[in-house]
Homo-oligomer: A and B are copies of this chain.
């Protein structure tokens, strides 16, 4: 909740006054505009008109649409999301994947809009990196619980498991833009959990021996 001004990367010198009010008006306008106009109609001018804040002010503080979305994302961080807990690695991963699927196919497509914006604005890209780093860190508990249960070897790399499980879904929906069938979420979870149980996600530098052999040297 640090209200970092996107443009200057430092907090406003007058955080309780007009600046804060303007920021709320603008971010509300961004969300509203995104809801009933989509990404295409999310323009600096539209946001300015909708918020009642002058155009030049929006330009000054947020620079471009990516900056606006980045600030919306920053405003949304610090929520209390925690990964689902269903009793097994596979079902946990599947549940996460279903949430991702829901987010990526939601209407209005806020997530997709943010990803698209990250290719235009370094600010949005950075905000997205931060967001994902946070989510990956939280999801690591899924793998740690599986380790505690003895489901997978102790040297399993949590981050690698999470990425392997979720990447196919992102890839299909975001990059290939094909309509992933509902089973993909579950199938990816299944495949990854099979590999993880076999010790394929052991950390390279670990002394603990995994069940599967590692070290697939390439060339």
Contact = CB atoms under 8 A, between A and B. Distances in A.
Interface stretch (A9-17, A42-50, A187-195): A187-195
Interface in A154-179: 160, 163-164, 166-168, 170-172, 174-178
A164 B188 contact: yes
Contact of A194 (B98, B132, B212): B212
Interface residues of A, number: 49
Nearest to A98: B218
A86 B215 CA distance: 17
A189 B160 CA distance: 13
How many copies of this chain sit in the oligomeric assembly? 2
Contacts of A189: 216, 218
Contacts of A218: 91, 94-95, 98, 185-186, 189
Nearest to A97: B218
Given A160-B187, A190-B216, A216-B190, A176 B129 contact: yes
Contacts of A192: 191, 195
Given A129-B178, A171-B171, A190 B204 contact: no
Contacts of A195: 191-192, 194-195, 198, 200
Given A190-B200, A191-B195, A170 B175 contact: yes
A94 to B, nearest CB: 5
Interface of A: 90-91, 94-95, 98, 115-116, 118-120, 125, 128-129, 132, 160, 163-164, 166-168, 170-172, 174-178, 183, 185-195, 198, 200-201, 204, 212, 214, 216-218
